[in-house]
Structure 1
């Protein structure tokens, strides 16, 4: 009887881990919204829910940067309860900051920064 309970618990754990581990971070199945970047001419951010946590915490969101005609670039995913992306344009470059909540819970701290040339993105004509 004890071994049967262990097998059952193992199967439940295995099935739950499969469901949690098999998410597609680049999924565009659950569209949320498109936002025009105010400080960047003709750039938009498309947002999708990758994994909805419901009452258990923040949702995992995926973001794409696009100009709608020349490129769509996958930026990444974030937990919208504690993380976000922010964007800044400087000349031909777009700076993408990944920010996380600070220790006090009310401020944002830069976790990472990536920079891309808009000219290069437009030349590649890559749609992800």
Structure 2
């Protein structure tokens, strides 16, 4: 019974210790309009997931999502002071059709409010 518990508890403890924003997990940064950037990191124990953060490097840094590269993606649309973040999921097409991306969730942010609040998420 103890081995069974250790089999589940030890990986859970290791998962809690992995910090996704560690520079060892850094992949790349995307430059966007309005001097905004999307920082991309490896996430998860095996590094098969991706975590993305939206930042202006001075006033705020928010976590916009963590996802499995094979099944999902996050799309960030910036229109002046409005930021729209869509989580898209890949769905297999019928018969010979190509895979299709469907929007699973949408989150809206106001750029002025983010700068005013000075939120820096890890």
Larger Rg: 1
Gaps of 5+ in 1: 1-5
Gaps of 5+ in 2: none
The aligned residue for residue 76 of structure 2 is 87
More strand by share: 2
Structure 1 runs, 4 residues or longer, greater than 3 Å off: 19-24
Matched, 1:18 2:12: yes
How many equivalent pairs are there?
115
- TM-score, scaled to structure 2: 0.79
Classify 1:7/1:124 alpha carbon distance in 2 versus 1 (closer, same or farther; 3 Å): closer
Classify 1:52/1:90 alpha carbon distance in 2 versus 1 (closer, same or farther; 3 Å): same
* Match among 101, 108, 111 for residue 90 of structure 2: 101
8 Å CA contact 1:43–1:65 kept in 2: the answer is: yes
- TM-score, scaled to structure 1: 0.76
Superposed CA RMSD in Å reads: 2.3
